[in-house]
Amino acid sequence: GDQGLYLRRDIFNSLGGFPQEPFLEDLIFSKRLKKLGRIAVSRQKIIVSPRRWQKKGLLRQTIRNWTIITLAHCGVSPTRLAKMYSSVR
């Protein structure tokens, strides 16, 4: 993914770690984390692979990401959503 989550191990463990989902486990975990209180956003940069963006294009990938997140919020299962997010390797 292209998200960098940093938190204390005890908090991670108290939330049960990442859920055993094939896709969007970081989003599901972040929703649980948000219920604990304030979340800080770091200005530090992380390095991630640009392959998907290069292959699909900025506009197409952005629309795909928004669509997947919207469907996730509407209750579509991570398993079904994973099929929309093809591998680029």
| C-alpha span between 20 and 18 (Å, rounded) | 6
pLDDT band at 33 (very low <50, low <70, confident <90, very high): very high
Mean pLDDT value of segment 32-51: 88
Reply yes or no on whether the pLDDT at 76 is more than 90: yes
C-alpha triplet 55, 59, 60: angle, nearest 5°: 55
Domain boundaries, the chain: 9-82
Cβ pair 64, 84 in contact under 8 A: yes
Reply yes or no on whether the pLDDT at 48 is more than 80: yes
